Copies of this chain bind each other. A is one copy, B any other.
Amino acid sequence: MTVEGKHIAIVGAGLVGSGWAVVFARAGHDVRVYDPSEAVRRGVLSWAKSTLSSLHSAGLLDDPTGVLERIDIVDSMAGAVRGAAYIQESVFETVEAKSSVSLEIDRYLSAHAVVGSSSSGIPASRFTESCENRTRFLVAHPVNPPHLVPVVELVPAPWTDPLAIDRARQLMGEVGQVPVTLQREVDGFILNRLQGALLNEAFALYSEGYSSISDIDATVRAGLGLRWLFMGPFETIDLNAPSGIADYAARLGPMYHQMALSRRDPQPWSPETIKAAEAERRTLLPFDQLAQRREWRDHVLARLSAFKLTEGIP
C-alpha cells in the first residue's frame, strides 16, 4: 500500500485505537489520532509514552521518542481523515456508533483511502451500506492489545472491493502485523469461532465434572499451546503423522468426528457452571489482583514477541 507523503488516521482512541497508533507509528508512519472525547484524546500520548517505553525495555523498539513524535492528536474528524492513506476505526462496538462514525469518515475520505474497522463481531455489511465509498470499508479485527498480538482479521462486506482488502493486507504486513483474510462474512470471524469451539468444549468438560478449570488450562498451556504458538493447528497435525496432514486425517479424523457427534446438542454455559468457574478462578487469582495480573500478561506477551522475533516465527 503506497502511503508516501500520506498518514494513517486512528478514529476512536480507547485502548484498541491507542494500540493501533503505536503499531503504525513504530513502523515509521505518521499517525493522526482523533477521538470525540477530549478527555480520551488527552490520555493518548501519556499511554503511548509508557507503552513505548515497555516495548523498548523488552528489546522490541530502538527509539521510543522518535516513535512518539510521529503520533499527533487532532481535535476533528476532518483533521484526522483528510489526506490519510488508511483509517483504522475503533469506536464503541454498536451498530449505531459504527454506522454514524463510518458516515462521518466517508465524508472526508481521500481517493483510494481504505477504512478498516476494529469490530470484533459486527460485520461491515451492518454499518457501511450507506457510505458513498463503501467499497473501501472493511473489518480489520485485531486482538487486544494490537501492538503485542499481531493477528488482524480482514473481513469484506459483500460490496468491499477485493483491491481494498489487498491493500489493507499489504499495509498490515508491512507494519509487522499478521493479516488473515476471510473471503466473506461469518459470525465471529475465524478467531472467535476457533476460540468459541475450544471454550465450549472446555466449559462442557468442566461442567460435566471431568476436570478442574486449572487442569484444563494446564492442558492447553503445557500441551496444545506449545505447538500452536509457532505452527497453528494445521501445521501441527501435518507434522504429526509420518506422511503429513492427509495421513493424520485418515488415522484420527474418525475419532474427532465421533467426539463432535457427542456434542450435537450444544449447551449454553449455565449460570451454575459460570459461578463455579468464577469461584475457582478467584481462589487461583483474587479479584483485587486482576489488574496486576493483566500487567504481567502484557509483560509476558512483550517477552514472547521478542522470543518469536529471535526465532524467526511470524
Interface residues of A (CB under 8 A from B): 121, 143-144, 148-151, 153, 178, 180-184, 186-188, 190-202, 205, 209-213, 215-235, 237-240, 243-246, 249-250, 253-269, 274-275, 277-278, 281-282, 284-285, 287, 290, 293-294, 297, 300-301, 303-304, 307, 311, 313-314
Contact = CB atoms under 8 A, between A and B. Distances in A.
9 contacts: A190-B211, A194-B224, A196-B259, A197-B198, A213-B234, A221-B232, A235-B285, A239-B297, A260-B263
A221 B217 contact: no
* A interface SS class: helix
4 cross-chain pairs, A with B, having the tightest CB-CB distances, nearest first: A217-B232, A151-B223, A260-B266, A178-B222
A262 B261 CA distance: 14
A205 B193 contact: yes
A237 B199 contact: yes
Nearest to A223: B151
A187 B258 contact: yes
Contacts of A275: 246
A193 B259 contact: yes
A89 B71 CA distance: 60
